[in-house]
Amino acid sequence: MLQQLPSEQKMYRALINKDESFEGIFIVGVKTTGIFCRPVCPARKPKRENVEFFSNPKQALDAGYRPCKRCKPLREKGETPEWIDQILTKVEADLTHKWTDQDIREEGINPNRLRRWFKKHHGMTFHSYVRSRRLGKALGQIKHGEDTTQVAYSHGYESLSGFRDAIKEMVGKPVSKGKDTPMVHLNRITTPLGPMLAGATKEGLCLLEFVDRRMLETQLKRLRKYLKCSFVPGSTEITEMAARQMQEYFEGERRHFSVPLELSGSTFQQKVWEELQHIPYGATRSYKVQARNIGNVKAVRAVARANGDNRIAVMIPCHRVIGSDGSLTGYGGGLWRKKYLLNLEQTHLEK
């Protein structure tokens, strides 16, 4: 039962410290209450002799435990709460509506709570999010040939100059030039290993990263430089396809991805990323073998750097590259995620 898990001592220490880095790694069952929880459950921590550890909720359920009502262990880490879904549905139904705190209260939501949630999960306030969605839709309409004045007033702007200034602030260019700026739609998708940020142009997926990765901000800056794009929140057919296929992957129902990709990088980086996609599901390769496969056996360190610069996690499987001695070595999303992904693939490969 504890195979492929950290030591019990380490897991209990993580439980006591409410260590978020162990989210997705283990579930804890509390013998005295008959419930199972996440490592970060706010409930009072049980004694060591009163807990047992599981790899996933199914194991805990099979052992007779019921899910905790406080930490909701059956919900994926980073999953959007129902009260957020409720207000986002209304936002999408009418992007021209200018929300006030009173409007938010009428939805049964505390405005401060809403503000904190958006700052934590999207790096912006709720009002900034709505504004970005409104401008993103407006710019999309202008790109497709609609009249700027008509678009401005239909989106609730009282003056054309105010609309032009808002567009210029978002894309860094006037409307006349901004309409030629590629847009990358950013959408948050959930996985058992935590939320990921998916970014897509009209051609393909150009970003898929865990939101807590330290390099994420740097990757966004590089993407903006390569594509000369602007970022707007919102989903597209491509980000929705990515979300579906990632869910199928984690459920063991998908080994190959068909999401169109847009890879922006140097010729060498693109060569490395293409080679990564040739590593079979459930298999691993060393950096040395990867270097040899691209025709430059001396480029081991350069290959490792290119792996680290990969902006499309999992679908471009840099997690399948390990050290020559079998060690996991570095991974931008964290070694615990790398171990999880490799174990997941190996487990489903053996079925």
Last residue of a domain, one of 23, 49, 67: 67
Catalytic option among 41, 68, 229, 318: 318
Interval 185-230: pLDDT, tens = 888 888 888 888 899 998 999 999 988 887 888 888 888 888 888 7
Interval 32-57: pLDDT, tens = 888 899 898 988 889 999 999 988 77
pLDDT at 165 over 90: no
- The verdict on residue 75 lying in a domain is no
- Contact of 198 with 239, CB cutoff 8 Å: yes
What b/e sequence results for 272-290 when a residue is b if at least 16 CB atoms lie within 10 Å of its CB, and e otherwise? Answer: bbebbeebeeeebbbbbbb
Are 246 and 199 within one domain? yes
- Contact of 249 with 317, CB cutoff 8 Å: no
Lowest average pLDDT, out of 82-86, 149-153, 189-193, 239-243, goes to 149-153
Q: Is 229 a catalytic residue?
A: no
At 279, which CATH number? 1.10.10.10
Burial label, 326 (beta-carbon count in 10 A; 0-12, 13-18, 19+): exposed
Are 246 and 286 within one domain? yes
pLDDT value of residue 151 = 44
Last residue of a domain, one of 150, 178, 206: 178
Residue 27's domain comprises: 8-67
Q: How far apart are CA 36 and CA 67, in angstroms?
A: 5
Q: Which of 165-174, 184-193, 275-284 has the highest mean pLDDT?
A: 275-284
Are 235 and 277 within one domain? yes
- Across the beta sheet with 27-30, what order do the strands follow? 51-54, 27-30, 35-37, 66-67
Q: Is 37 a catalytic residue?
A: yes
Catalytic option among 37, 41, 68, 229: 37
Last residue of a domain, one of 160, 178, 196: 178
Element (H, E) at 209: strand 205-210
Are 60 and 152 within one domain? no
Q: How far apart are CA 162 and CA 190, in angstroms?
A: 36
- The verdict on residue 343 lying in a domain is yes
Are 167 and 202 within one domain? no
- Contact of 56 with 27, CB cutoff 8 Å: yes
Are 149 and 243 within one domain? no
Burial label, 9 (beta-carbon count in 10 A; 0-12, 13-18, 19+): exposed
Are 193 and 165 within one domain? no
Lowest average pLDDT, out of 4-8, 83-87, 107-111, goes to 4-8
**Rounded average pLDDT over 76-82:** 69
In this prediction the pTM is: 0.61
Q: Which two tokens stand for residue 7?
A: 């030591």
Are 341 and 250 within one domain? yes
**Rounded average pLDDT over 252-277:** 94
**SS3 assignment, position 207:** strand
**Rounded average pLDDT over 318-344:** 87
Residue indicated by tokens 């948050």: 188
- The verdict on residue 316 lying in a domain is yes
Number of structural domains (the chain) is 3
Confidence of residue 290 (pLDDT cuts 50, 70, 90): very high
Residue indicated by tokens 């750097």: 305
Report which of 132, 124, 122, 133 is spatially closest to residue 93, judged by C-alpha positions. Answer: 133
